[in-house]
Structure 1
Amino acid sequence: MAEDKDLYDFFGSDFNSTKYFEGDKVVVGPAQKVTYFVDGSDAYANLNKLFISFQHVPTEKSVFFKAFITAFNEAYNCDWSSETVYGRADPIYMFKQTQRKITLAFKIPAASTSEAYENLGKVQQLVQFLYPSYSEVDNATTISQSPLVRMKVMNLLRNTNDRFNEMDKNYGYSALESADVTATGDELVDYSGLQTWQSHDGLLGVIDNLAVNHNLEGDDGAFVVGSNALLPKFIDLNLTFSPIHEHPLGWDENGIFAGDEDRTTGTGASKTLQQRLWPYGVKLKDPLELYSENSTAIDEALLLGSSNTDVREASEAAIANAAAAEAGLLSGLRAKITERKLEKAAEKAAEAATEVFESEEYAAAMAALEDL
């Protein structure tokens, strides 16, 4: 069954703008000239797996779109209840939950009538995913499954309850071995090795609303393919998605976020917890790793009873003191320079006065004053 899903995704995610042209041939012009059409976005999406996928959970059918994304926004809304107490300036807050909402908008351009036809069919399929499953379709009281959807936007939106290892449900770099990928030790390189493109690795949730704009009134218009038949050249999709996380979210008493028991080591005292790299799968290096050259000094400070905060504050204080000392030194130098300039100015003024007093003009002026 898993192989069938992968094959379904493999062929469903194959983008080919001439898929619905017979023999990949396009007939153009009044002379009915036959040419072959190639769209660069097909190759780019197929080669780099840059697409958006939706899987309908009840039927496990999926649909793929090229990632012409115009908006991708996440909102994390914390819900708190507050109680105002007499004489207290601030209310007392009690945490209730954090809710995540995702809005996605993307464009679906058509480079040919074949792609326009396929695009319209894919939008049709996505709209069908919004409806539930029934034991008897004509009986509204026989709903058997709600229309849950798995949505995947490359590495930015995916299920972090990884399917590399169905038994352990581990997420992170221990999953590399299960995926037959060799860890390099380079976080960025290994991060690219962890990414999967299959629709079943999408984030589980519900589509709250879906808006489809066929842009028939715009400059793009539509392909007229026959009598009373046209195909939009450019479709806009906007949707809101509410995730349903399949693993716990929150910190444990050991400072591990959304820890998951590693069932390969058993249970009880031997169990180990692995931090879940939610929601983007990014593993940052510990600051002590990045600054390993200072690890000895930091360890000594910690042994003396100082915390990381104390060490940082001491470093900041040392830097501030050095800056103040430097400022004081510069201030003193500036004062001395100013004093020296004033001294030189006074010396020049005295020299100028002496020259005046000793000049013949000054002596003649004084003699004239005496004659008066």
Structure 2
Amino acid sequence: MNLKKTFFVSLATLTLLSLETTINSTNHNDKVASASTISRELKHNAAIYTKNGKSTKARYLKKGNEVVIYGYKTLHSKKFAYIGNGKYILVSNLNSSSKKANKKVAKSTNKKAATTTNNESSDSKIPSIYKKWLKNRRKGNLVAIRDTQSGDPDGDPKSIAIISKIRKGDPISIPSDIAPTASHLDIGTTVDIVKGKLGYFLTWSNNYGGTAINLKDFEFKPYDSTYKKLVKKLTPYCSPKEFNWGTGYAITFTPTTNISSLPSGSSPISGTYGQPHTLTAGKRITLLNPDILINGKGQYVLEGSKSDNTYDVPIKQITHLVKPKSKK
């Protein structure tokens, strides 16, 4: 299962969410619910928003740091915290525990931009084995060692986490951090490891929210020389030349056996998506966002998505690959 494909659900869903979260401009007298000035720690990297609820190009605030909160306001059913200088962050990125800022800090920052402390995050407490997995994300993938599911690190049922069932032996690709672009400020992805109530979680999120997997339910499988050979063999069948495995574009082939889709996911926003479907043996199919992964049986599979479903097709069961037509 590719986390990027699981998270991005479908282009249509993201378009609808974008329309829902884009808020019409209001005047400069928008009211912010006043609150005692407090300092709260970030439990996730936090994107910066304007007073109208629109994401900005500003760099994410790093998890583990503290921000001074001057008040709260709700925009389109989402609660934001005002951190000064016209900047807002989602309350969902803050730890539930809070502490009052001392009077000296409150006075010195009341008319200035909110600042983060130089406190180190809890990275030093993360087991070294998990850090190594993240560092080597392009040299292997995770494999579930038991049946599990993705969700919220703190088990919050009201979160906007995407929840998907993951079967024992299913491969999981660790995505790379993706910076927002000028045309897609809301699609940037942040990947991190955080400590939740049930252990350490690999999390990935963008401005719509995110989801996570408990790393105790997985092991890391490194790729061998076969992986490079498969990349070399299959890359010509993906377009364009700038193609990178696991990100964008498509591949067309014919499976030699029926292939069932992976378990579907759901989210409090979009509901259940991706009804179960089976690829028919002998019938040509085009899959989006192809990736090469290794599963719990040690088999290399071609993973891709179509119509909100994701499939893991064993490489040995792929025939009649179709080369893309070159653009003039």
TM range (shorter): under 0.3
| Structure showing greater relative contact order (alpha-carbon pairs closer than 8 Å, 6 or more residues apart) | 2
Give the structure with higher Rg (CA).
1
Provide the TM-score with structure 2 as the length reference: 0.22
Q: More strand per residue: 1 or 2?
A: 2
Provide the TM-score with structure 1 as the length reference: 0.20
Q: More helix per residue: 1 or 2?
A: 1
